[in-house]
Each structure stands twice: as C-alpha cells, then as structure tokens.
C-alpha cells in the first residue's frame, strides 16, 4: 500500500499556537523572537514551515536562511541565503552588500573587522527597510552550523530592532553549541524570545501521525513497531515508508497492520538498508554528494564528480526514486540532514578524507573561493599536510577583512595540522594571536601570546609576537604589563626597526599616561613622534601625536594639546594607511577642542568623526559617548540622557568597562540633580568598586564627582569629602590635573565646611598653578579663581570667575561660579547682587531639568528675601505631541518619512541605540506602540 505525504504538524498544538500568536503580533508592529530547540528529526523544520505558511497568508515578507554542514568558514553564508544577497540582484541595496562580501568595496581602506561591521550594519538596515513595506519573518535554521558572521548579523537584528515588525525564528539542536551560538541564544533571551523545546511525540500523537500517512489507524503490531521511533516523527515516517516500500503494510479491517516485526533499529540503519538497493555508480556518486554537504549545487557536484551534468542527473535518479534526495533551486538536497549524516558516516574515515581533499582541489580548480572550500581542506587533510596548511593560511587572509572570526577558525585548523616542531609552527601561532586580536578575542590573544613566549620559540617571530602581545594588553587596559613589555622591546635598539618602535612607544605612552604618569607618557610619545616624522610615515606620526596630546592634556596644558591635535588631524588627512591603525584623530581633535571650551567646534569634529565611524565602528562607541558628555556639559540633558543610556549599551556590547562606568557616572549626576535619589543609587551600584584598591582608573575623576554628589545629596558630606580627597590626592601625586575642573570646587567647599582649611588652601594653590598652564581656557581660570575666592573669603575673584564662566556654555562651571559668588556676596551683605547671580544659576538649572538643584537655589533665594517663581511654563506636558523634546520630534519626523534606525542615526549623528531609547520615550508619551501609529500621529500633527 502507499504512504501519503502529510503536510501537517501533529502533536504540536501548543507550539503552533505560540507561533501563530507571534505571527499575529506582527500586526502590532513590534519585534519578537522564537527559539525552536530540539533533536534532529523532531519536527523543527515542519514547525517552521507552518509558521512561514501562516506568515505568507498574512502578507508577511519571509526571509528564510539555513546553515549547512561544512560551511562554518563561509562568511555570512546563512544571511546571504536568507536575504538573497547577489551581486547581480536587481535590488541595488542587495547588490551593494554582495559587493562588500566579495571584498569589492571600491578600494576604500578597511581596518580589521571594519568590513564585517559594515556588512552587519547593512543587513540590519536592509531588514528594517523591508519592515517599512511589510512585516518581516526572518528564519535562521540550524544555527548550530552557522558561521560566526551570520550569527552576529542575526543577533544585531534581534538587539537593534525592538520597534520594527520583525519576527526572528531560530532553530537549533540542544548541544553541543559553540560560544558564538551561545551568545546568540543569550541575546535572544535578553530580547524576550520565547523558547519552544520540542519533546518526543506522545504515543497517541505518533498513532495520529501514522494514520495521516497510511490512511487509517495502525494496528497493534504496527503500533509496537512505531514505538521504536521513540516519538521522533521523522523516524516514524521513515519506518512507515520502508514498510510500505517492502510490501509489509496490509489493511486489517479499519486499521493498517504490519506483516513483519523485523526492521532496522535506527534511522541510519534504515538508510543503509535503502542504499543496498542502489546501483554501485549511484551509490558512489551519492557518497560524493554527501561529502559536499546536505544541500549541494549541481555545478559543484559536476565539477567534483568530473562527469557531464546529464550523466550526473541520470546516476542520481535512483536516489531520487528511493526518496533519499530532493531538489531545491539549483541544489540537490538530502531529504533530511539525518539522511545525509547516515550516508556520510557510512563512508570509511580514510575514504572521507580523500574525498574531501579531492573535492577541495576540484572546486578550486573550477574557480571556487578558498573560503568556500576551507572546511573540505581541513576535513581532507592529515597532520603534516603542508599544502593544506598553506591553503588554510591563504584562506584566513582572505577572510580577515570581512569575517575575522572565520580567519581565527581557519588558522587554528592550520595550526592543528602542523606536527610538533614544524619550522612554521611558531609563525602560524603568531598569526593565530594576530587573528584573535582582529576578531576582538583579546583575552585569548594575550593568553596565547604569553604561552608561546613562555616556551622555546623561533627568534624570527619573537618581535612580531611581542608586538601582538603588547596590542592585546593595551586593549585590556593592562597598563603595568604594557609598560613592562614595551620596555623589554625597546631595551635592545637593534631589535625593532624605526617604524616598529613608534607603535611600541605610543602604546607605552598611553599606558604611562592612563596609569598615572603623564609626564613619562609625554616623554615616550615625543620620542615616537620624532622617529615617525624622521621615517616620513604620516599615519604613524598622527598616531604618536594623538598619544602625545593626551599626555599633555592630562597635565593641564590644554592649549598645547589642541595644537598637537590639529597636527595629528592634518597628518592623518594627508596620509594613507590610517585605516589600519587604532586611530581616530577627529575624535581626539574634538576632545582637545572641548577641553579648551570650544564646544561648537568640538561637536563639529565629533560629527566628522562619526561620518567615518558609521562605516567603521572602531571608535564609534567612544565618539558617541564624547558627544553625549558634551550634551551633558552644556546642559542639554534631554538629549544627553538617551545618548548616555545608549552609550552604556554600546559599552556593554564592546565589553568596555571604563566607557560603561563613564556612562553610569554621568547618568548618576543627572539622576541626583533631578532629585531621583533612588534612581541615582541604582545607577551608582554599577560603579561599586570603581574607586577601591590602590590604583584608580583614568576616569576616576568623573566617577568620584558623581558618587560624591550623590552622597552629599543623601546628607553624607564627610563621605563625599573623603571620596573627592582620595581622588584628588591620587591625581596630585601623579601630576595629573585633567579633572581639576570637576573635583576642585566641591572639594574646597566641603573642606571649608569641615574646617579643613589647609586642604582647601592646598587645592586652591594647585588649581591656580594649573591655570597658568592653560591661560586661554576660561573655565580653567574660572575654577582657579572660585577656589581662591572661597579660601580667602574674597568676593572679587569670585565675580571675575563668573565673568569667565559666562564665556563658555558649560553648565556646571557657570552655575557653580554663580552660586559660589552669591555665597560670598551674601556674607558681605550684598544680597541683591547675590540674588541676581542665583537667579542666573536657577535659569540654567531649570533649562537643564535639574529640579533638585533648582530647588536648592530657590531655597537660598528665599533665604535672602527673594520670591522666585516656579519653573512654570518651561515644564512640558507629560504626554502628547507637546511633551516631545526637539530631538524626539526629529526622530518622529524621520520615522514618518520611512527612514530606518540606522539612517536616522546617521542623519542625527547619534547611535541606533539612542534612536531606540528615543522611540521608547516617544511611544510612552504619545501612547502608541509602533512606528506605523507614530507616523500617523506625525502626519496629523503636520496637517
């Protein structure tokens, strides 16, 4: 009797309901995700097919990608299939992404990882643009086989598109899972994904499945046989088909019964049983097909089999008839990966190795990319295969720009093929370390480098290895070790060529500066500049100048640092090769400008830097954070808040604890200033331990300022004083004056209130001396005058400080000068003048939304007999169109134009994270839940 193919899903009512609900939720234009987990053959694909059918019936765009065995070294393979990224695509955007993947980026320079970053950004943008036309279902099947670059892209879609109508469905086997797959699953969980774990079917469900296929309920004997399937629907279907093909199913009344109880005990045995019925030539070709993968392009099979297409088709006909194979587009596909696995494992291991090797050679001879056949090279090689090692190293170089994690995998495999003591062993080990660095696996890079350095190794690679080790240590902010390794490298003048000395000195300078010895950092970077200029290498000169300007700036010579920053930017603009260095001169120019109170110019420099970084990513988080801090400093807190939150999210993604602590510190200050002490305390908990231990981090000044402000607001003035004093002493011992403007005024004020006049005088003397180093910077001079005025109880320097502070737009310097001068004026009986200055501070605080600080100023004004009004008209409504900030309105308008988050981010010079933060606020204020509803409100508001 015949077995009918069943297209339905049996025994998965709960899972189907959950999937159907997720599809229906797309109508609300919100993102969601499903993780479907289960063993092979358990029904993951059938469930996905049901989801896709419902999605298409609901006018949802379906993108379906599937990973395959032997393709982990094919960058973005799953994503290419899902989004149909072809260079000949009629869609210009898809063709452009395919061009990037082909490493045909128009000749632009790319640093390590830049290309992968750009492709991921384009993929997110492409999916989001598709969401603007119709809701999107993005399916990623069998991610346990997916390449790391594809996993990164899927993760980015999940994390970055919470307000787009996209449903991401991922299928995976339970184990084992690579670290990259585990990270994707963590991201899915963080995004609120629902997990559907497919358990074996219940016995009644297996009976129902059988009834659908054989046209009647199975009898007792057949039911007993079906128990062998263990609830696995694929195995149950295969048993039924095998029984039918061998004539062992008969009708017995209303039921169907089996005439034999002797059947294979596993699906693999069943496949092998079918293979015995195939002609030898078909079996031979089927084995070649299995070696190539579970879904094989016909042209690849023709190339490897070295037979004409018509003959290949004829030879495989019997395999199609035996229902071992199927067709999908231009591929020959095994009916299931379990079928593929059974045939593949039946081939003896030595034969498999030969077939993989022959496949690699044949495919490359036919023009295939090395990356496409790298898995075959590995599986087809034995230890000591020098030719395979060479191929894999070449493939790793090909992969490095677009998929650095793939490059790591290839080099690891090449290293494994080298016998102990091989002449190239140490060289390949160095290449692995360098690849780990490019892939961002910094801790592993440093540990691998240390291991090689600790053993006997080739002198020819020692310097290169130490340079890579130095880079890894620097990226981990392990300053003391950077200094030691740099000193060892520089101890032998002949060891390094001049162009190699420059990066060593530059890294040493950064480490010395940020570990608290900026004077030594300056010395190292000056030497680096001298060597780089002598060698005539502009890119290295720019890098060395950047280190020098930071060392000079930490010592308070802000004017000089700005001159150096302009030189660095000029060298970088006129030089080639800057894209290969950890360099963003425009960012550092912006920082130097900001330190000199040139806020408008600084933010313009940040925007120029962002124009570069949106296509790169190296310094994107740092540049966005710098602009967020600028918003904070000028009192634009409505913009600063979302930018700081987004900066913190980006810092977490980059595993950048110092950047994260800066974000939390500024957010803590804002929460304290608005009077949300509970929120400030929660934020401050993320800074726990930042100021503990003997050594403080280079951003300890802003952390101490934030925590001290919170303690003071909570009434713990002695605790605030101790925090500030410790940080001050630490910097003073090391000649760092960078945080004087942030630490000194509050420390002097608290010292005077605690009868610690000697400490206050010490601080005032130090900031006065530092002001002489930057005579053109108004806020530096203003802070020095404020501190001196407080110590000497002299109102005249305080008033001069106010005049200087007014020259800049910086909130805390301006309001602080006004409040300090008002205190001195009030003590001298000049209450009217004091009231005027307090009103000036009040206006700035109210504009920033610093309600608690504004309340403090009002209380002081009332104490002087004034009657300040409430903020009144400056308060926006809590809801409705009028409640939106200027930036929120801009984001809303661009959403209404149909722009994606990435496009909005580039237009407004913010991050996609910031766009999402603004959208959360906008949706809450307007009472809408999706972009479509928001666009409608925007159009109505315009009308």
- Give the model's confidence band at 732: pLDDT under 50 very low, under 70 low, under 90 confident, else very high: very high
Q: How far apart are CA 20 and CA 904, in angstroms?
A: 32
Is the per-residue pLDDT at 716 higher than 60? Answer: yes
Cβ atoms within 10 Å of 503's Cβ, excluding its own: 24
**pLDDT score recorded for residue 510:** 92
The Cα-based distances of 914 to 625, 685, 904, 906 in angstroms read 11, 23, 10, 11
Least confident of 165-169, 235-239, 316-320: 235-239
Please say if the pLDDT value at position 45 is more than 80.
yes
The alpha helices in 849-926, defined as continuous H runs, are 851-863, 886-896, 901-908, 912-926
CA 445 to chain centroid: 19
Fold of 13-197: Rossmann fold (3.40.50)
Spatial neighbors of 332 by CB under 8 A, at least 6 apart, are: 289, 295, 296, 298, 301, 316, 325
pLDDT band for position 110 (50/70/90)? very low
Q: What is the pLDDT of residues 250-260, one digit of tens each?
A: 988 889 988 87
Residues with Cβ within 8 Å of residue 722, at least 6 apart in sequence: none
Let me know how many helices (H) and strands (E) the chain has, helices first.
Answer: 46, 10
CB 668 within 8 A of CB 684: yes
Nearest to 592 by CA among 630, 536, 619, 624: 630
Find out whether 227 and 213 touch, Cβ atoms under 8 Å: no
Task: Give the CA distances from residue 204 to residues 10, 42, 196, 207, 863, in Å, rounded to whole numbers and listed in that order.
Answer: 10, 16, 21, 5, 83
Let me know if 939 is exposed, middle or buried by CB neighbors in 10 A (0-12, 13-18, 19+): exposed
Which of 447-466 are b and which e, b meaning 16 or more Cβ less than 10 Å from the residue's Cβ? ebbeebeeeebeeebbbbbb
Residues 6+ apart with CB under 8 A from 793: 824, 827
Read off the pLDDT band of 475 (50, 70, 90).
confident
Q: What is the DSSP string of 277-316?
A: TS-HHHHHHHHHHHHH-SEEEHHHHHHHHTS-HHHHHHHH
Contact 167, 31 (CB under 8 A): yes
Alpha-carbon gap, residue 258 to 264, rounded angstroms = 14
Of 149-158, 238-247, 344-353, the least confident: 238-247
Tokens 């991921």 locate to 120
How far apart are the C-alpha atoms of 179 and 190, rounded to whole Å?
Answer: 16
pLDDT at 626 > cutoff 50? yes
Judged by DSSP in three states, 199 sits in coil
pLDDT at 230: 85
The contacts of residue 64 (CB under 8 Å, 6+ apart) are 48, 52, 81, 82, 139, 141
Binned at pLDDT 50, 70 and 90, residue 617 comes out as low
Model pTM? 0.79
Query: Looking at the domain 767-868, which fold is it?
Result: 1.25.40
Least confident window among 168-177, 354-363, 832-841, 865-874:
865-874
pLDDT at position 377: 86
| pLDDT tier, 872 (very low <50, low <70, confident <90, very high otherwise) | very low
| DSSP helix, strand, coil percent of the chain (3-state; round to 5) | 70, 5, 25
User: 707 or 695, which is more confident?
Assistant: 707
Rounded distance, CA 164 to CA 389, Å? Answer: 45
Q: What is the pLDDT of residue 103?
A: 60
H or E segment to which residue 138 belongs: strand 136-141
Cα–Cα distance, 153 to 148 (Å, whole number): 9
Q: Which residues contact 943 (CB under 8 A, 6 or more apart)?
A: none
Tens digits of per-residue pLDDT, 200-220?
999 999 999 999 888 889 999
Residues forming beta bridges with residue 33, ordered by sequence position: 168
- pLDDT over 90 (residue 762): yes
- How many angstroms from the chain centroid is the CA of residue 908? 20
Q: How far is it, in rounded angstroms, from Cα 653 to Cα 67?
A: 25
pLDDT of residue 919: 87
pLDDT band for position 372 (cuts 50, 70, 90): confident
For 386-572, CATH number out of 3.40.50.300, 1.10.357.10, 1.25.40.10, 3.50.50.60 equals: 1.25.40.10
Q: According to DSSP H, which parts of 617-716 are helical?
A: 620-633, 637-654, 657-674, 677-685, 700-713
Those residues whose C-beta lies under 8 Å from the C-beta of residue 830, and which sit 6 or more positions away, are 795
pLDDT surpasses 80 at 579 = no
Pairing of strands 194-197, 249-252: unpaired
Confidence of residue 367 (pLDDT cuts 50, 70, 90): confident
Is pLDDT larger for residue 692 or for residue 743? 743
Angle between helices 309-321 and 298-305 (to 10 degrees): 110
Q: How are beta strands 194-197 and 166-172 bridged, if at all?
A: unpaired
Q: Stretch 280-284: mean pLDDT, rounded?
A: 91
The pLDDT of residue 651 is: 81
pLDDT of residue 121: 85
In the three-class reduction of DSSP (H, G, I as helix; E, B as strand; rest coil), residue 580 is classed as helix
Enter the CATH code of domain 881-942.
1.10.10.10
At 404, the pLDDT band (50, 70, 90 cuts) reads confident
DSSP class of 29: T
Q: What pLDDT score does 108 carry?
A: 41
State how far the alpha carbon of 412 is from the alpha carbons of 175, 389, 423, 448, in Å: 22, 10, 16, 12
The mean pLDDT of the chain is 88
Nearest to 560, CA basis, from 542, 543, 545 = 545
Q: Which region, left, alpha or beta, applies to residue 39 given φ > 0 means left and ψ of -120 to 50 means alpha?
A: beta
Residue among 560, 557, 613 nearest 586 (CA): 613
Q: Looking at the predicted structure, is the pLDDT value of residue 541 above 80?
A: yes
Q: Tell me the pLDDT tens digit for each residue of 158-204.
A: 988 888 899 999 999 987 888 889 989 999 998 899 999 999 999 99
- The dihedrals phi and psi of 927, each to the nearest 5 degrees, come to 70, 30
Q: Using only the alpha carbons of the chain, give its radius of gyration.
A: 33
Please tell me the predicted confidence (pLDDT) of residue 616: 54
Segment 724-739 shows an average pLDDT of 92
DSSP symbol at 218 = B
Q: Which of 620-634, 871-885, 913-927 has the lowest mean pLDDT?
A: 871-885
pLDDT band at 662 (very low <50, low <70, confident <90, very high): very high
d(CA 764, CA 783): 9
Residue 622 — pLDDT band, cuts 50, 70, 90? confident
**Side-chain half-sphere CA neighbours of 523 within 13 A:** 4
- Region 52-74: mean pLDDT is 91
Q: Enumerate the β-bridge partners of residue 255.
A: 252
Q: Is residue 654's pLDDT more than 90?
A: no
Average pLDDT over residues 443-472: 92
CB 624 within 8 A of CB 650: yes
Summarised one tens digit per residue, pLDDT across range 551-563 is 999 999 999 999 9
pLDDT average, residue stretch 278-282: 90
Least confident of 321-330, 480-489, 608-617: 608-617
pLDDT at position 822 is 97
Task: State how far the alpha carbon of 388 is from the alpha carbons of 218, 383, 668, 710, in Å.
Answer: 54, 9, 56, 62
- Say if strands 194-197 and 136-141 run parallel, antiparallel, or are unpaired: unpaired
Residue 736 burial by Cβ neighbours in a 10 Å radius (0-12, 13-18, 19+): buried
Mean of the pLDDT values across residues 43-70?
Answer: 93
């Amino acid at each position: 009797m015949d077995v009918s193919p069943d297209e339905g899903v049996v025994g998965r009512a709960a899972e189907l309901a959950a999937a159907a609900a997720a599809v229906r939720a797309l109508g609300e234009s919100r993102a969601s995700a499903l993780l479907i987990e289960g063993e092979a053959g358990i029904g993951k694909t059938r469930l996905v097919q049901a989801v896709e059918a419902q999605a298409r019936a609901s006018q949802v765009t379906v993108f379906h990608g599937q990973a395959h065995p032997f393709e982990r070294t094919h960058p973005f393979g799953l994503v290419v299939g899902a989004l149909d990224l072809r260079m000949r695509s009629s869609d210009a955007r898809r063709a452009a992404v395919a061009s990037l993947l082909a490493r045909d980026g128009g000749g632009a320079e790319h640093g390590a990882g830049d290309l992968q970053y750009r492709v991921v950004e384009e993929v997110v943008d492409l999916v989001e643009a598709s969401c603007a036309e119709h809701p999107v279902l993005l399916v990623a099947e069998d991610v346990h086989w997916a390449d790391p670059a594809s996993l990164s892209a899927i993760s980015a879609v999940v994390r970055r598109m919470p307000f787009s109508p996209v449903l991401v469905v991922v299928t995976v086997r339970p184990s084992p899972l690579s670290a990259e797959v585990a990270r994707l699953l963590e991201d899915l969980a963080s995004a609120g994904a629902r997990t559907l774990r497919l358990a074996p079917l219940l016995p009644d469900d297996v009976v129902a499945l059988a009834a659908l296929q054989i046209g009647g309920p199975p009898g007792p004997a057949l039911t007993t046989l079906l128990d062998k399937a263990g609830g696995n629907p694929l195995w149950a279907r295969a048993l039924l088909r095998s029984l039918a093909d061998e004539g062992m199913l008969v009708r017995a009344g209303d039921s169907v019964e089996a005439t034999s109880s002797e059947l294979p005990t596993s699906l693999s045995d069943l496949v092998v049983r079918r293979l015995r019925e195939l002609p030898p030539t078909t079996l031979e070709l089927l084995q070649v097909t299995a070696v190539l993968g579970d879904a094989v392009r016909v042209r690849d099979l023709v190339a490897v089999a070295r037979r004409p297409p018509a003959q290949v088709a004829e030879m495989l006909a019997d395999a199609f008839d035996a229902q071992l194979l199927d067709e999908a587009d231009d591929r020959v596909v095994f009916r299931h990966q379990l079928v593929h696995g059974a045939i593949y494992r039946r081939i003896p291991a030595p034969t498999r190795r030969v077939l993989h090797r022959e496949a690699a050679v044949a495919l490359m001879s036919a023009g295939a990319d090395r990356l496409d056949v790298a898995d075959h090279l590995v599986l087809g090689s034995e230890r000591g295969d020098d030719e395979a090692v060479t191929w894999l190293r070449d493939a790793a170089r090909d992969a490095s720009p677009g998929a650095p994690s793939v490059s790591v995998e290839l080099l690891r495999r090449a290293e494994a093929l080298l016998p102990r003591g091989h002449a190239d062993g140490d060289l390949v080990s160095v290449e692995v370390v360098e690849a780990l660095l490019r892939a961002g696996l910094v801790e592993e890079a440093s540990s691998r480098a240390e291991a090689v350095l600790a053993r006997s190794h080739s002198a020819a690679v020692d310097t290169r290895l130490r340079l890579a080790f130095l880079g890894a240590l620097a990226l981990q902010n392990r300053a003391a070790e950077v200094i030691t390794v740099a000193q060892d490298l520089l101890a032998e003048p002949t060891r390094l060529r001049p162009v190699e000395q420059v990066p060593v000195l530059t890294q040493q300078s950064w480490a010395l500066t940020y570990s608290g010895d900026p004077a030594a950092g300056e010395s190292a970077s000056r030497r680096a500049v001298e060597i780089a200029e002598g060698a005539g290498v502009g890119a290295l000169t720019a890098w060395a100048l950047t280190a020098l300007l930071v060392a000079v700036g930490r010592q308070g010579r802000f004017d000089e640092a700005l001159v150096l920053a302009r030189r660095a930017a000029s060298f970088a603009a006129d030089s080639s090769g800057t894209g290969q260095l950890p360099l963003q001169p425009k960012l550092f120019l912006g920082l130097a400008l900001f330190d000199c109170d040139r806020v408008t110019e600084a933010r313009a420099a940040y925007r120029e830097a962002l124009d570069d970084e949106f296509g790169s990513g190296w310094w994107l988080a740092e540049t966005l954070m710098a602009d967020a801090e600028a918003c904070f400093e000028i009192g634009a807190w409505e913009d600063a808040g979302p930018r700081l939150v987004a900066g913190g999210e980006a810092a977490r993604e980059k595993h950048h604890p110092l950047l994260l602590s800066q974000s939390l510190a500024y957010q803590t200050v804002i929460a304290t200033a608005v009077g949300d002490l509970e929120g400030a305390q929660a934020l401050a908990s993320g800074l726990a331990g930042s100021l503990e231990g003997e050594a403080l981090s280079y951003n300890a000044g802003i952390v101490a300022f934030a925590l001290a402000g919170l303690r003071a607001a909570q009434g713990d003035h002695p605790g605030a004083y101790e925090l500030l004093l410790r940080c001050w002493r630490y910097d003073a011992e090391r000649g760092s004056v960078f945080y004087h403007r942030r630490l000194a005024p509050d420390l002097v004020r608290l010292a005077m209130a605690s009868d610690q006049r000697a400490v206050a005088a010490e601080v005032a003397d130090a900031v006065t001396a530092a002001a002489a180093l930057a005579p053109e910077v108004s806020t530096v001079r203003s802070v020095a005058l404020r501190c001196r005025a407080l110590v000497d109880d002299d109102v005249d320097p305080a008033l001069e400080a106010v005049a200087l502070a007014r020259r800049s737009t910086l909130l805390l310097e301006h309001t602080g000068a006004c409040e300090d001068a008002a205190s001195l004026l009030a003590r001298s009986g000049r209450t009217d003048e004091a009231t005027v200055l307090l009103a000036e501070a009040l206006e700035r605080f109210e504009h920033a939304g610093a309600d608690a600080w504004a309340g403090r100023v009002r209380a002081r004004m009332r104490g002087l007999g004034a009657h300040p009004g409430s903020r009144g008209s400056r308060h926006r409504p809590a809801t409705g169109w009028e409640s939106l900030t200027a930036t929120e309105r801009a984001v809303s308008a661009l959403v209404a134009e149909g722009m994606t988050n990435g496009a909005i981010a580039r237009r407004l010079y913010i991050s996609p994270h910031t766009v999402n933060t603004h959208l959360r606020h906008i949706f809450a204020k307007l009472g809408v839940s999706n972009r479509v509803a928001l666009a409608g409100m925007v159009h109505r508001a315009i009308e």
